Amino acid sequence: MPFSTYLAEQMGSATLTPAGPFVAGSYAELTLCYTAGTFGIDDSGMVKVSWRTTSDMAKPQFDDPTAANYTSVEASHGAKLDVWFDRLNIRPWANTLLIRVGRGYLRAGDVLTVRFGDRRAGSPGFRLQTNCDERFELKTWVDAFATYEFTEIPASPAFALVPGAAARWKAIWPSLAVAGEPFRLAIVAEDVWGNPTGEADQHLALAPSRPIRGLPQSVTMRRGQGPIVLHGLAVETPGDVDLRMVSEEGEALARANPLRVVAAAPLRRYWGDLHGQSGETIGTGTAESYFRYARDKAFIDIVGHQGNDFQITDAFWKELNRLTAAFDAPGRFVCVPGYEWSGNTGMGGDRNIFFHREERPIRRSSHILVAGNSEANTECATAHDLFASLAGEDAVVIAHVGGRYADIGLAHDGRLERAVEVHSTWGTFEWLLHDAFAHGYRVGIVCHSDDHKGRPGATRPGASTFGAIGGLTCYLMPELTRDALFAALRQRRHYGTTGERLFMDLRGGTAPLERVEVLHGTRVAQTVRPYASCDLGRRVRVLWQGAEYRGRGRETEWHGRLRLEGNHFARFAAVNFLNPERQVRETAAGRALTWSSVTTGNRAGIDLWLDDARRGALSLETNIVSGEVDLSRLADDAVTFAGGGLGRALSVYRLPETDWSRHVAFEHGVTFAGGPDLPVYVRITQADGHQAWSSPIYLIA
């Protein structure tokens, strides 16, 4: 056990007012009262109040009582208290408010009053976690004897976090359907933080580009309803279908993902998120609610669960296997058993392991947070040991980048490790694919969420250091079964996206296409844009991208400002600003902007619509890199300023003024003279910042 259990029932109690529930991401004043137990707390003894490691609840501040997140702590009898916040606890409870009793002590019955978001001097309150949680717990531990040995009290305070009002809409249907065969449409309302919500009262007109049998002209979502699901829809003839959802006032609320209707389909398209974890390890909520969310709220077809091995007890491993077997429903929903081998970076780094069937043994990288050694000789401390232990198993391994990154140069087994994950909510990591190329490996590309928020298949970063929307992978399979999934993984029949359900056949996307690049290994061999030089005009994009380095501290904070001299901008728009608390602000009308943003290998930016396309100068200043661009000389290509780190850069280039084509068609020829493998793959970049990657085709001698 990570903490002492010594006389826990005598270590005091804690209450919280108000009791909740609260709207996720809202501001509140929470008053936690700890009443000392039988022993009180001795001089220099402590109380810890902790919440989950990956929670994005605000960090308390103690200096400005008028500002957000101001937190005060008082002792009922006036003892001097030292109070600070740090990540000083055992995972998954790292976020910790620490209270040391100094120059005094507490007797039984004395009270410590903690006010998170103390509003008495004008603070707006404390910003709560942005994702919903049925039971957000403030774990409370006590060091009553000043020994630095902490005992958890029997019942820590907790409250519920519920979704807020609808802020955006989604329309989700299949990417591919056979003419005349039925399919479904799911309509989901989300709050500003990406939580599915029933706090909506909206009449929605449905405007398809072609007739759809069974589709009503409109639907209405009433307050308290969940997602609306329309079954039994069909399109009678082949072709591409578009669907827009429009409000009563004529506002376009959502556009469904591209749907292609074909006469026959040897391979269907199924969307999956194989990588995430629940509250039994470091995530949020239960594993059962995790699987239900994927199926009933994210509306994906395939899901996996990947808890950190060193937190999976034998009992939880058994429960996970029971759940995956129960949720797996061939033809309707595929649920895959597995776990994350979480070896230290120097021992090989993170790997996702998926089993074709349940009841396979778990081989942990360590037992550091699992009491005892459940089975002798089952620990695999290195990735070499892991691959050796999996020899003969009906399993697939995927290398990924999370807290630790996979070092595939140190260890790799091509019979098992069939793909690399190039995007998750941690960021974008195309360099992992390039590592594979450098070593001559043949791997496919996947993108998953690595969800920690109880939202597999539809993960947004919230206000934490997660810097990207969770990814999705489209698996090309003849049927929706585990057998077909494992065949697709082993044959690299899949492509990954940064969260949008793009239809990758180089003909369609979910937003206008900025460019399509064909890569030969790491080299861009051809770039295709669905617009010409004559289409470029007053719209100028300022883009920043990249990461600090490969490891945990990869997030790059961008604090920037731009100023336009000799020209004005008529309007501006943020690109890929995923955290609602980070915004672009206009500091001089039509002339200057400031912003705060985070990238973790992905991209963000600002579009400007200039009064005059070819006049003036754009001055850019950020904490990473700065530069100036003469707009009269800005032609078709980008002006780029390198920012060091891992692919960090600031770029300026022109785009068409209004939305343009979502379709592009071209042919690409490859000449291969032999020698090392030549991997050929496609990278798509959309105007909204989303990207997608095809799994490579390997030309071999």
DSSP characters for 507-533?
A: T--SS-EEEEEEEETTEEEEEE-SS-G
What DSSP designation does 241 have? E
**Spatial separation of the C-alpha atoms in residues 334 and 456, rounded to whole Å:** 14
Dihedral of alpha carbons 393, 416, 272, 478, sign: negative
Nearest Cα to 488, choosing from 469, 474, 509? 474
Confidence at 176, pLDDT banded by 50, 70, 90: very high
Residue 594: what pLDDT? 97
Cα separation, 660 vs 553, whole angstroms = 37
pLDDT for 187-240, tens place per residue?
A: 999 999 999 999 999 999 999 999 999 999 999 999 998 899 999 999 999 999
Q: For residues 414 and 635, which has the higher predicted lDDT (pLDDT)?
A: 414
**Can you tell me the distance from the alpha carbon of 382 to that of 347, in angstroms, rounded to the nearest whole number?**
5
What's the rounded mean pLDDT across residues 329-352?
A: 96
d(CA 399, CA 559): 32
- Got the DSSP string for 542-597? EEEEEES-SSTT--EEEEEEEEEES--EEEEEEES---TTS-EEEEETTTEEEEEE
- The pLDDT score that the predictor gives to residue 507 is 38
Yes or no: say if 311 and 90 are a contact pair by the CB < 8 Å rule. Answer: no
The stretch 648-653 carries a mean pLDDT of 95
Q: Which helix (H) or strand (E) holds 609?
A: strand 603-610
Task: Please report which confidence band the pLDDT of residue 635 belongs to, taking 50, 70 and 90 as the band edges.
Answer: confident
Distance CA 207, CA 209 (A): 7
Q: What is the mean pLDDT of residues 435-461?
A: 95
d(CA 225, CA 281): 31
| Lowest-confidence segment of 288-297, 525-534, 547-556 by average pLDDT | 547-556
Question: Strand pairing of 95-102 and 80-87?
Answer: antiparallel
Sheet holding 176-178, edge to edge: 176-178, 259-262, 239-241
What is the predicted pLDDT for the residue at 376?
54
506 — pLDDT class (breaks 50, 70, 90)? very low
- Listed in order, the ranges of the chain carrying CATH 2.60.40.10 are 168-262
1, pLDDT greater than 60 = no
Residues 6+ apart with CB under 8 A from 138: 14, 16, 32, 49, 50, 51, 156, 157, 158
The pLDDT, as a whole number, for residue 516 is 92
pLDDT at 375: 62
First-residue to last-residue Cα distance in the chain: 56
The answer to whether the beta carbons of residues 380 and 339 sit under 8 Å apart is: no
Assign domain 168-262 one CATH number from 3.40.50.300, 2.60.40.10, 3.40.228.10, 1.25.40.850.
Answer: 2.60.40.10
* 292-319 per-position pLDDT tens digit: 999 999 999 999 999 999 999 999 999 9
For the chain, the maximum distance between any two Cα atoms, rounded to a whole number of angstroms, is 83
What is the C-alpha separation between 132 and 284, in angstroms, rounded? Answer: 9
pLDDT of 505 strictly over 80:
no
Hey, what are 584's tokens? 């672009």
654-683 pLDDT, tens digit each: 999 887 777 888 889 998 888 999 999 999
CATH number of 8-161: 2.60.40
| pLDDT(463) > 90 | no
**Contact assessment for residue 423 and residue 660, using Cβ atoms and an 8 Å cutoff:** no
Cα 530 from Cα 518, distance rounded (Å) = 14
Give the β-pairing of 168-172 and 183-190.
antiparallel
- How confident is the model at residue 278, as a pLDDT? 96
Amino acid at 13: S
Residue 509: predicted pLDDT: 55
Q: Is the C-alpha dihedral spanning 660, 547, 257, 574 positive or negative?
A: negative
**pLDDT (tens digit, 9 = 90+) per residue, 571-623?**
999 998 888 888 999 999 999 999 999 998 899 999 999 999 999 999 999 99
Evaluate if residue 174 carries a pLDDT over 70: yes
What distances in angstroms separate CA 161 from CA 61, 133, 158, 169, 190, one per listed residue?
A: 22, 5, 10, 21, 15
Distance from the Cα of residue 118 to its chain's centroid: 31
DSSP 3-state assignment of 34? strand
Residues 446, 694: Cα–Cα separation, whole Å: 9
**Which SS3 state, helix, strand or coil, does residue 431 take?**
helix
Cα 159 from Cα 290, distance rounded (Å): 19
Instruction: Say if residue 389's pLDDT is above 60.
Output: yes
Strand partners, 98: 48, 84
- Coil, helix or strand for 201? coil
**Residues making up the chain, counted from first to last:** 701
**Phi, psi for residue 325 in degrees, rounded to 5:** -65, -40
Percent with pLDDT over 70 in the chain: 98
Domain 268-501: CATH class, spelled out: alpha beta
In terms of Cβ atoms closer than 10 Å to its own Cβ (0-12, 13-18, 19+), residue 95 is buried
Classified by CATH at the fold level, domain 532-656 comes out as Immunoglobulin-like (2.60.40)
- What type of residue is 295? R
Average pLDDT, the chain: 94
**Dist CA 282 CA 551 (whole Å):** 19
**What's residue 661's pLDDT?**
77
pLDDT tops 70 at residue 121: yes
Q: Is the pLDDT of residue 546 over 50?
A: yes
510 has pLDDT over 80: no
Residue 373: both structure tokens together: 């050694």
Report whether 263 contacts 181 (CB < 8 A): no
User: What is the location of CATH 3.20.20.140 in the chain?
Assistant: 268-501
Beta pairing, strands 569-575 & 603-610: antiparallel
Amino acid in position 607: D
238: how many CB neighbours lie within 10 A of its CB? Answer: 13
Return d(Cα 602, Cα 422) in angstroms, integer: 11
Interval 433-437 mean pLDDT: 95
From residue 579, alpha-carbon distances to 467, 575, 596, 629 in Å are 8, 11, 10, 28
Rg (CA), the chain: 27
